[in-house]
Amino acid sequence: MSHIGQWNVRLQFFEDDDGTTKAHVVLNTGTSALTGLGTAHRNPADTNVPEIGDELAAGRAMHDLAQQLLKAAERDIQGMTAPRPGIPQSAIG
């Protein structure tokens, strides 16, 4: 039987008066939630193009979230392959 699931992602961002855009992405799996954060800083001498700050901050927040997901998967994999108490390692593998 196939495994089917659905995770919900919510991304919010806003720009401060100083030209800093902050992004906040939340992944809700139904049993847990992870949060990614990202920022982008506009040089005061640059033209104000909010879409660029949004793209950079959102991309960085999603990258942060992706790194957290990969680390969680690595921990889960290690937990699956860890020796069980009372069972010799030679018997596992």
Mean pLDDT, contiguous 10-residue spans, the chain (93 residues): 93 91 96 96 90 96 97 91 65 52
Model pLDDT, residue 57: 97
Model pLDDT, residue 80: 87
Closest Cα partner for 25 from 55, 61, 71, 70?
A: 61
Model pLDDT, residue 63: 98
Exposure string for 6-24, b = 16+ CB within 10 A, e = fewer: eeeeebebebeeeeebbbb
Alpha helices by DSSP H, listed for the chain, are 50-81, 89-92
pTM of the model: 0.80
Alpha helices by DSSP H, listed for 1-49, are none
Structure-derived torsion over alpha carbons of residues 55, 56, 58, 59, reported in degrees to the nearest 10? 100
For residues 55 and 40, what is the distance between their CA atoms, to the nearest angstrom? 9
Model pLDDT, residue 71: 96
Model pLDDT, residue 25: 98
CATH H-level, domain 8-76: superfamily? Rv1738 (3.30.160.240)
